[in-house]
Structure 1
Amino acid sequence: MKRILLTIMLMVSAICVTRADAANERMNVLFLVADDLNSWMLEDADRYAGKVIAPNLRKLADSGVNFTRAYTAAPVCSPSRTAFFSGVAPWKSGIYNNAQTINKSEVLNRDDVLSLAGLFKKSGYDTFGYGKITHGWDQKEHWNEHVGHKRDPAPPGAPLAKLSGGEQDWGPIHLAEEQMNDTRGADKAIAVLEKQHDKPFFLAYGTFNPHMPWYVPQEYFDMYPLEQIVLPELKEDDLDDLPPLAKAVSDGIGSFADKVVETGKHREAVQAYLATTTYVDTQIGRVLDALEHSPYKDNTIVVFLTDHGFHLGEKHHWQKTTLWEEGTHTLLMFRAPGVTKAGGVSERFVSLMDIYPTLAELCGVTPPAYIDGRSLVSLLEDPQAPWESTAITGLCDKVKTDLAYISIRHELGRYTRYGADEEEFYDTTKDPHEWTNEIDNPKYATTVNNLRTLVPGFENAAHPLSSALTRERRETKKVKKKGE
């Protein structure tokens, strides 16, 4: 009997030790990001969701928590990535578009500002980055290995679509799939997952696609027969009720978007976008499969996001750089072993700014005190948990870069302010296309006033922290003088 009791006690002790080891094991991170990928695969199945061939992303979404109302902090590549990778929002850094010089940002160049890679490296992780992860702002010394993105060369005879040169083109690429840069980036990420690691790792892989131009192998175009393409709904007078600055953001009547539609190329363009989306899904799938077959599958957090949305003609606009749903709505998926459950769907309004504090909490590392956003862990545990919206997006004027535009996406709708006076409000519960600007409708006066209070530091234009930083430095100098 004593032997039996001793055996049982040893077994219980072994189980406790195993559980303790598992609890103390530091989680790895697989950080996946796609460029310019919109949220069509979240839309009504009768329109786009069933038409977008993305089995790997759907599988990932079903394996954890899929955030269906996630929004970018900036609808442009560089400021969006700078924001979610630094933890500093555009209305604090002053970085709202690609043309701005990031090294002039007082906030981003402070010594205590750490990129996500920097945070994890400082916390004892090995860090690897392949492809398009950041854009313009990075701390390259914080990567063990970092290989940035490159565009694939244009096919002979480009532009193939014969509508425009440069980015705005599409057609079959002349390269074999294994020669494409996004494929090679996936190869490098897979190689990391196939290695033996004696330290936890932060592995980031980003695709350049579906950024324009859309050049992918013919087989991806063949997956989308032209006659089956579903086009976005367009409204000819969609700009009539917009204030002047908003009309300027749209590119307006006669834009490239209108040219695509009027020349009968719209269906062809959407086909190319979807083909490129499926190519991206294939590369993401290869990396996820490598994780699944690695020894790290049970202790690796996976997050997938898109840097912003993408217009395909809506509001007479093409690509991004707007504050409407098409430009700001993103994909965001998390799978965290021991935290998330398969099939989780959260309809809470969240921001890509929330990624930084979430990963920090999940991995037990301490984030810098300055970061914006809030940890999503409560929603990962319970997708329907109470939550106050944090979905704020910033943009600046194309010419006057010190003139900030701010949009609030909320359960109450979308409120946007351009400069000091021009505004929009959409009741998105009744008007998901944002076709009718209700800013002057007295029915929504209370709602609009409530949303106005959520605009962050607007009065300080594109540099709302400048005065705060000045005050901070003055206080620091005072303290030093007292100590001298």
Structure 2
Amino acid sequence: MNAILRFLTVCMFCMGLAQGQQKKPNILFIFSDDHAYQAIGAYGNKLVQTPHIDRIAKEGAVFEQFMVTKSICGPSRANLLTGKYSHKNGFMDNEGNFNINQQVLSRLLQQADYETAWIGKWHLGTLPGDAFNYWHILPNQGYYYNPDFINAQHDTSRYEGYVTDIITQLSTAWLDERPKDKPFFLVIGEKATHREWLPAIEDLGAYDAVNFPLPATFYDDYQGRKAAGDQDMTIEKSMRLADDLKVHAKFGLTEAIMQERLTTIRNRGGQQRTLSVEEEQQLRKEINEGMYARLNPEQAASVQRYYDKITAEFEALKPEAKALTEWKYQRYMKDYLATANSLDRNIGKILDYLDKHGLAENTIVIYGSDQGFYLGEHGWFDKRFIYQESLRTPFLIRYPGVVKPGTRIGQQLLNIDWAPTLLEIAGLSVPSDIQGQSFLSLLHKPQQTKPFRKASYYHYYEFPHPHHVSPHFGITTERFKLVRFYKGQEAWELYDLKKDPLELHNQIANKKYAKQIIQLKQWLAEACEQYDDQLAAGILKQQL
């Protein structure tokens, strides 16, 4: 009898373990590139078409103050993988090579028996190696049409079609073939909505009937903010008619197009020069690999017809001065948002896959971008600055059984918080060297008022290229933002976000804020110490 009881006890224990493993949630993280929160319906935009991203919001939570530690693409991916600031994980800018041999989220999840995969845009210089059980990634930035992918065997293959569609196909194929007895952690790295904003054929002209209102700060004069005035990312001066807005662009590649482009290069700068054989061969290779050259004849014909109409419109209008700047803004918005249409449509396909295969109830679905982006605010495109439009990033999560549908969370959180939160969800302890904080408790109790941190710390390094944004560090609190620019332009800035949410008035010299400045500088010094940012601490020591 005792033997039978022992046997039944063991069986029940094993069944309990199996059920516990089954209940461990799958984690699907859809990670886009340069997708601004203000371009999403769930964040209040009434002109855009994002029904599937909005579905995640309706069935889960929208984070209204999710911020990045640095508004730049590759380092944000490194933040996700490590839960650490750039000066700790070693990936400071987009030109570096991420040390994949360090402690990363995916390897830690493997210890909890998760099957891990990264598919799509990676953009970290080095390859994922054994950090993921499976990977299939775009080299570097990747291409919108007919992109190449590198697999775990280091084979490079070209896929015919549009990049967002292909990433979805590869992702669902992996979900079909993965080990079904394990929970999964899958990162779907989207290329959209990265520059040069080339929409899928079916989305060309999707927003042509819309006249987008100019942002309130579109004609910002940068008064009192030298760093904001000393950059190279304005729609007026930095956005390129041909490469960005496709005016007179040629798609596909014929010998005539090749010769036209070579002639342009020979005459660059107004002085004709002769190319050596080696130079011409290299240029031919670069042109052949260009974004617009990769389209096959059928794709090229469709895309060319559309942008020929845009070119004809431009030539008929011949806009100048403000009219030209505003025309460029309208074209930027139409292409940017049309590119996002495919992103949203494919998110819908992924959600449908989860429903069809009975995975939705036990899969956490996260949608986020690597940082915010400027859609004409301050006259800009791109990101980099600590100002709100690039500091804030969209973040939405559907967590069945935990997050109540329609939840909105206003707490300040950072992208270094992703890793510890996912580790805690997986039932793992968070390593002590991870700098982020788990916000799992906030998912369970979104109305809790105790702040996660009194100030969010930020540090941007890249200079002078590609957009000549002065390196800076600073903190953002619920009410204030304090910034120290230290290269290129050297200056302090202070913003009262309650009175000046558009960040137009630098109050650093305003005596009314003297007490707040003393307090904020102390908090900034504490943040430098907390995160062991010795460069910033050294600069502060000279100032305080």
Q: What TM-score, normalized to structure 1?
A: 0.77
Q: Which string of whole-angstrom CA distances, capped at 9 and with x for unpartnered residues, describes residues 427-473 of structure 1?
A: 2222222111122222222333333233367879x9836999xxxxx
CA separation of 1:237 and 1:55: change in aligned 2, threshold 3 A: closer
**Cα distance, 1:418 vs structure 2:** 1.1
SS at match of 1:309: coil
CA separation of 1:152 and 1:459: change in aligned 2, threshold 3 A: closer
Which residue identity is paired with 2:173? A
**Is the CA contact (8 Å cut-off) linking 2:145 and 2:161 kept in structure 1?**
no
| Alpha-carbon separation, structure 1, partners of 2:388 and 2:239 | 17
CA separation of 1:36 and 1:466: change in aligned 2, threshold 3 A: closer
**Is the CA contact (8 Å cut-off) linking 1:41 and 1:49 kept in structure 2?**
yes
| Alpha-carbon separation, structure 1, partners of 2:536 and 2:522 | 20
Tell me which residue corresponds to 1:448.
517
Please, which moves more after superposition, 289-298 or 85-94? 85-94
| Alpha-carbon separation, structure 1, partners of 2:372 and 2:37 | 7
| Alpha-carbon separation, structure 2, partners of 1:180 and 1:258 | 23
**Is the CA contact (8 Å cut-off) linking 1:182 and 1:207 kept in structure 2?**
yes
Please, which moves more after superposition, 49-58 or 418-427? 418-427
**Cα distance, 1:246 vs structure 2:** 4.3
SS at match of 1:228: coil
Tell me which residue corresponds to 1:384.
447
**Cα distance, 1:102 vs structure 2:** 3.8
**Is the CA contact (8 Å cut-off) linking 2:97 and 2:124 kept in structure 1?**
no
**Is the CA contact (8 Å cut-off) linking 1:65 and 1:383 kept in structure 2?**
no
Counting only pairs closer than 5 Å after superposition, residues 76-87 of structure 1 correspond to structure 2 as 76-87=72-83
Q: Which string of whole-angstrom CA distances, capped at 9 and with x for unpartnered residues, describes residues 18-56 of structure 1?
A: 8993587322111110000011146898xx611121000
Tell me which residue corresponds to 2:254.
none
Which residue identity is paired with 1:425? L
| Alpha-carbon separation, structure 2, partners of 1:35 and 1:306 | 6
Counting only pairs closer than 5 Å after superposition, residues 325-336 of structure 1 correspond to structure 2 as 325-336=388-399
Q: What TM-score, normalized to structure 2?
A: 0.69
Which residue identity is paired with 1:201? F
Q: Which string of whole-angstrom CA distances, capped at 9 and with x for unpartnered residues, describes residues 64-95 of structure 1?
A: 12101111111111112112222111243454
Query: Does 2:485 match 1:418?
Result: yes
Q: Which string of whole-angstrom CA distances, capped at 9 and with x for unpartnered residues, describes residues 223-275 of structure 1?
A: 313443333233534312113x4433465796315988652221111111111
Residue from 153, 163, 172 that aligns with 1:190: 172
Query: Does 2:425 match 1:355?
Result: no
Tell me which residue corresponds to 2:36.
38
Residue from 43, 49, 55 that aligns with 2:45: 49
Tell me which residue corresponds to 1:5.
none
Task: Number of aligned residue pairs: give it.
Answer: 422
**Cα distance, 1:406 vs structure 2:** 1.1
| Alpha-carbon separation, structure 2, partners of 1:327 and 1:41 | 12
Tell me which residue corresponds to 1:429.
498
| Alpha-carbon separation, structure 2, partners of 1:410 and 1:53 | 32
Tell me which residue corresponds to 2:203.
220
Residue from 27, 30, 34 that aligns with 1:29: 27
Q: Could you list the runs of 5+ residues in structure 1 that have no partner in the other structure?
A: 1-13, 156-176, 469-484
Residue from 469, 473, 482 that aligns with 1:406: 473
CA separation of 1:435 and 1:222: change in aligned 2, threshold 3 A: same
Tell me which residue corresponds to 2:130.
141
**Cα distance, 1:203 vs structure 2:** 1.0
**Is the CA contact (8 Å cut-off) linking 2:39 and 2:48 kept in structure 1?**
yes
Counting only pairs closer than 5 Å after superposition, residues 100-179 of structure 1 correspond to structure 2 as 101-102=96-97, 113-136=102-125, 139-149=128-138, 151-152=142-143, 179=161
| Alpha-carbon separation, structure 1, partners of 2:166 and 2:499 | 45
Which residue identity is paired with 2:384? T
CA separation of 1:252 and 1:423: change in aligned 2, threshold 3 A: farther
Please, which moves more after superposition, 20-29 or 290-299? 20-29
SS at match of 2:393: strand
CA separation of 1:23 and 1:339: change in aligned 2, threshold 3 A: farther
Tell me which residue corresponds to 1:286.
349
State the Cα RMSD in Å: 3.5
| Alpha-carbon separation, structure 1, partners of 2:203 and 2:176 | 28
Which one has a bigger Cα radius of gyration?
Answer: 2
**Is the CA contact (8 Å cut-off) linking 1:303 and 1:333 kept in structure 2?**
yes
Query: Does 2:273 match 1:255?
Result: no
Tell me which residue corresponds to 2:307.
none
Tell me which residue corresponds to 2:461.
396
| Alpha-carbon separation, structure 1, partners of 2:408 and 2:495 | 25
| Alpha-carbon separation, structure 2, partners of 1:143 and 1:281 | 26
Which residue identity is paired with 2:483? T
Percent identity of paired positions between Structure 1 and Structure 2: 26
